[in-house]
Amino acid sequence: MQPSPFIGELVGTMVLILLGNGVVANVVLKKTKGESGGWIVITAGWAFAVMFGVFTANAFGSAAAHLNPAVTVGFAVLKNDYSFVATYIPAQLIGAFLGAVLVWLQYLPHWKATEDGGAKLACFSTGPAIKSTGANFLSEFIATVILIVGIVAIGYAGSSDPEKGGIPSGVAPYLVGMLVWSIGLSLGGTTGYAINPVRDLGPRIAHAILPIPNKGSSDWGYGWIPVVAPIAGAIIGGLILRSFSF
C-alpha cells in the first residue's frame, strides 16, 4: 500500500478522533485516571489531536491534511477547485468512524462502569449545553468561519507575499492546533465545538452500532447541526477570503 491523499486523510482523521474523543472519554467516563479532568484538559487534548492528526496525514500522503470536510469545502470555495472533494471527504468519514471504534476499544471496561448514557455519547459526538436549534447552529457556524479564516491566515503569516516566504511548513500544524484550542476555550462551551462534520457524524454512527452497555440515544435529532452548520460556515468563510483575493 502506497501513501496517497486518500490514505493520508483517512489515517490522519483516525488519529484525530482517537486522540480527540479519547481525551473526552478519559475525562467523562468513570474510573479512568483522568476522570473529572475538566474542560481545559479536553480542549488541550483536542488541540494536540489536531496537531498530530495533521502530521500523520502528511506522513501517509496527504500534504493538505484537511481532516475535516468543512476545511475541504472551505478551500474548494476559496480556490474554486472542487477536484479533491470526492477523495478527501469519504476518507475523512471512514477515518472518523475507525477512530471512534478505537476509542471504544481503548476504554472497553469503562463503558459498563459509567451509568450516564449522555456521558457515553459525549465520548463520540457533540451536544449542546442548552438545546436551541437556531443558537446551536449559529455557534457551530461562527466557530467554523473562524476556523477557516484562521487556517488560511496561518498559511499567510510572516509574509505579505506567500510565494516568497511565510512560516515554515513544519510549524503550521502546531499553530492550527493552537487555533483549535482557542476555538474550544472561547467558543466551544455552547455546543462542544464540532466544527467538523465527520468528527461528529462518524463517531455518532459508531455509537449507534457498537455494543455499548446502556448507551441510550445517539440523538440523531440534533446530529444534523454539527454536519450542516460547519459546512455552511466553511462556505461563507471561503467566500469571505475569496472576496479579499486570498
Give one DSSP letter per residue of 57-107, joined into a string: HHHTT-SS---SHHHHHHHHHHHT--TTHHHHHHHHHHHHHHHHHHHHHHT
Give 30's pLDDT tier (boundaries 50, 70, 90): very high
**Average pLDDT value for the chain:** 95
What pLDDT score was predicted for residue 165?
A: 58
Asked if residue 159 has pLDDT above 60, the reply is: no
Asked if residue 120 has pLDDT above 80, the reply is: yes
Asked if residue 186 has pLDDT above 90, the reply is: yes
3-class secondary structure, 206: helix
- Residue 169, all three cell numbers: 511548513
Task: Over range 152-169, report the average pLDDT.
Answer: 69
Find cell 506522513 and name the residue: 59
What is the rounded distance in angstroms from the CA atom of residue 125 to the CA atom of residue 133?
17
pLDDT digits (tens, 9 = 90+) for 42-84: 999 999 999 999 999 999 999 999 999 999 999 999 999 999 9
Helix, strand, coil % (nearest 5) of the chain? 70, 0, 30
What pLDDT score was predicted for residue 162?
A: 52
What pLDDT score was predicted for residue 210?
A: 98
Q: How many residues does the chain have?
A: 246
Phi-psi region of 210 (alpha: psi -120 to 50; beta: other; left: phi over 0): beta
pTM (2 decimals)?
Answer: 0.96
Q: Which residues contact 31 (CB under 8 A, 6 or more apart)?
A: 109, 110, 113
Asked if residue 166 has pLDDT above 80, the reply is: no
Give 232's pLDDT tier (boundaries 50, 70, 90): very high
CA end-to-end span of the chain, whole Å? 36
Task: Over range 177-186, report the average pLDDT.
Answer: 98
3-class secondary structure, 243: helix
What pLDDT score was predicted for residue 1?
A: 83
Task: Over range 168-175, report the average pLDDT.
Answer: 88
Cβ count within 10 A of residue 22: 21
3-class secondary structure, 214: coil
What pLDDT score was predicted for residue 246?
A: 80
